[in-house]
């Protein structure tokens, strides 16, 4: 299988090469072989390959083992393995670094937008809760005032009626029947007064509690609004920073010479001999969808169907199979189920770099499908060509 490396993989090794410094006097140096597969001139790909044009028939064992371990295609750790000519290495490495930073910032922005959406959702929820609490508090205040007015009315009746005790009733009764009626009235009036007084006290307590609840809800809503505004402002600042970095990367990539552009693309989009795995579950079906986007251009923040960034390609591919994925690579790195490298299967997401700032989809045969960066189309390359942060299955 023809070996090729995208700019992200080149950056990982070229940066190492640059940090080694010049060779000591008298030391033997090796001139990179321009005919190496990693330096193969690759034309800018044409239209996106339909899924039915990606080979699914069994490949001969000499070109693609049926179930290879990713380590079978592990790239060399020698800095010269990138085959980047010496006079271009520093420029391309710097551009790759800028591109990686822009991509990482883009993924952080996706994550920040998700956090902002959640903060705004919490703000709306708390504002509604504060409104409900205020309404309940007002209702409780009204109930307390009504019950108190009943208590006041009953007290007035007792006052105007003078002594309403049993002795007074017995003295004033004109007959035994009249005495029974007077005592019954006395009991009902006393009971009504007691009930009204109890209700008034309970309503007053409820009103106090609900006023406190309304105040807390209002304070929480104000805090949520403040947090949402702070995140909105921070997102605006980072979006502007992202725009500046994107413009710089675009300008420098667009100014590359033909030879530099070939190195930037990093080889063929589909390595020779690659055979797509069969579709036998949702994950492999999502991979087949993603394979249909081979050659599609990279665009920061894009989620398809014709342009993608790295996490956007994952989201779009799985969405076609009815499965929702988080938007940012950092969120994709913690959702789903963790998978060990020796258990990796087609359709699994491979998260790269310490900050989980890049993501691709395992395509079988030791390869990963991903959208690398601006100027490099959606492509396949060795799964371990970049430092792996983790693997997740959805």
Residue found under tokens 């258990």 = 343
- Using CA atoms, how far residue 168 sits from 135, 159, 176, 186, in Å, is 47, 14, 14, 11
DSSP letter assigned to residue 303: B
End-to-end CA separation in angstroms for the chain: 29
* Largest separation between any pair of C-alpha atoms in the chain: 135
Distance CA 17, CA 330 (A): 28
Q: Where are the beta strands (DSSP E) in the chain?
A: 337-338, 349-352, 358-364, 367-370, 379-382, 388-393
> Of 298, 303, 271, 293, which Cα lies nearest the Cα of 373?
298
Q: Are 5 and 378 in contact (CB under 8 A)?
A: no
Q: What are the structure tokens assigned to 336, written together?
A: 């789903």
Length of the chain (residues): 394
**Sequential DSSP letters for 280-301:** -SHHHHHHHHHHTTTTPPB-TT
Q: Rg of the chain's alpha carbons, rounded to an integer?
A: 37
Q: Coil, strand or helix: which one is 361?
A: strand
State whether residue 269 is helix, strand or coil.
coil
Two tokens at 379? 């492509």
Contact assessment for residue 362 and residue 368, using Cβ atoms and an 8 Å cutoff: yes
Any idea which residues carry the catalytic annotation?
A: 310, 358, 370
Cα dihedral: 18, 19, 21, 23 (round 10) = -80
- 267: three-class secondary structure by DSSP: coil
**Per-residue b/e over 165-179, b at no fewer than 16 CB within 10 Å?**
eeeebeeeeeeeeeb
């Amino acid at each position: 299988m023809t070996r090729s490396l995208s700019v992200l993989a080149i950056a990982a090794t070229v940066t190492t090469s640059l940090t080694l410094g010049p060779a000591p006097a008298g030391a033997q140096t090796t001139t990179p072989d321009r005919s190496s597969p990693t330096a193969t001139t690759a034309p800018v790909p044409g239209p996106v390959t339909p899924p039915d044009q990606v080979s699914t028939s069994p490949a001969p064992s000499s070109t693609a083992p049926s179930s290879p371990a990713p380590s079978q295609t592990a790239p060399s750790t020698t800095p010269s393995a990138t085959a980047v000519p010496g006079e271009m290495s520093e420029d391309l490495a710097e551009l790759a670094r800028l591109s990686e930073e822009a991509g990482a910032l883009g993924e952080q922005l996706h994550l920040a937008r998700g956090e902002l959406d959640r903060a705004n959702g919490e703000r709306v929820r708390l504002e509604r809760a504060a409104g409900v609490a205020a309404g309940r508090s007002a209702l409780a205040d009204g109930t307390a005032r009504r019950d108190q007015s009943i208590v006041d009315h009953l007290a007035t009746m007792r006052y105007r009626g003078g002594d309403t005790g049993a002795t007074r009733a017995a003295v004033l009764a004109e007959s035994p029947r009249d005495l029974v009626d007077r005592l019954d009235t006395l009991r009902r009036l006393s009971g009504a007064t007691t009930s009204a007084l109890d209700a008034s006290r309970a309503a007053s307590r409820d009103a106090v509690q609900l006023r406190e609840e309304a105040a807390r809800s209002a304070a929480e809503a104000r805090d949520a609004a403040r947090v949402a505004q702070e995140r909105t402002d921070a997102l605006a600042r980072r979006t502007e920073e992202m725009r500046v970095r994107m413009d710089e990367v675009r300008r420098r990539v667009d100014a590359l010479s033909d030879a530099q552009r070939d190195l930037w693309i990093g080889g063929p989009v589909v390595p020779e001999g690659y055979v797509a795995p069969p579709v036998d579950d949702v994950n492999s079906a999502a991979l087949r969808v993603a394979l249909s986007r081979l050659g599609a251009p990279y665009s920061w923040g894009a989620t398809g169907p014709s342009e993608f960034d790295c996490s956007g390609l994952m989201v779009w591919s799985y969405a076609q199979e009815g499965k929702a994925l988080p938007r940012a690579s950092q969120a994709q790195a913690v959702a789903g189920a963790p998978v060990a490298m020796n258990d990796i299967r087609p359709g699994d997401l491979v998260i790269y770099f310490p900050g989980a700032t890049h993501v691709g989809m395992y395509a079988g045969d030791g390869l990963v499908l991903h959208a690398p960066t601006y100027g490099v189309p959606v492509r396949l390359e060795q799964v371990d060509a970049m430092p792996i942060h983790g693997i997740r299955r959805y």
